[in-house]
Structure 1
């Protein structure tokens, strides 16, 4: 017997995730779980300080225990310190939780901004070189000479003075 296709399904058109998840009983349960986690995340963002809320993810509630995942140990320790108040606040908001289980789930390291590369004009590099040449030999004089040479190497060659 050929498989019956849902008349609402048209693979040529984008569909809302909610519509797709409503098509089968197994997906409906998944949708309920996803909505619960999203609602928990919203409540946690209201109940926790910003630095914690952005680094704590809720898990599912199982047997009255809510799993919370912190980005690193220091945040988990701070969350444990706030645990009694947070548990009470969640219960007041209607969550059926009797305990929290706080775990560490390291998050991927965010790419840091590339190091800044200072740019100096040829005139600036020349002035720096002249300053270095006017100083007595010292660590400062050597550092200024290296800096002038580095910036001069990255710019167009200067015309020779006569």
Structure 2
């Protein structure tokens, strides 16, 4: 028994569609479409007005009663935005945005997974060559590091 209705399209024929296209199909989505377009326009303006390190970590929210809510990735960026607030409000008003103030909120971004530790692989022949090289060098930090690396890789093989 299939989990899809016999009257629905087959799942293999479905494809991703742009949000604007989906929202443009019905008048019921008009307010939502206007909100999406407003946020996209605000993102473009903020990207032009803010320094690069801020623009990539700040997301616009909604405008209510003349106050724009901006979401910063962490407290340090929020503090920097508060210093830029008067100039930013003036610049946004000059671009036609009807706002009088900013409200800055902190919305932490999801934590990225730390990179996996390197798992270097060395052939037994390479480990032997590295060990022989370390024996020919005079005592030094380089000689010790090469001997340690060779010993670690010789132990594995």
Give the shorter-chain TM-score range.
0.7 to 0.9
For residues 9-158 of structure 1, what are the structure 2 equivalents within 5 Å? 16-22=18-24, 23-25=26-28, 27-130=29-132, 144-155=146-157
TM-score, with length taken from structure 2: 0.74
Q: TM-score, normalised by structure 1?
A: 0.72
Q: Compare CA radii of gyration and give the structure with the larger one.
A: 1
In the alignment of these two chains, the number of paired residues is 145
Higher helix share: 2
Per-residue deviation, 1:78? 1.0
CA distance in 1, matches of 2:112, 2:77: 17
- Alpha-carbon RMSD across the aligned residues, in angstroms, is 3.1
Unaligned ranges ≥5, structure 1 = 1-9, 156-162
Question: Which consecutive residues of structure 2, in runs of 5 or more, have no partner in the other structure?
Answer: 1-7
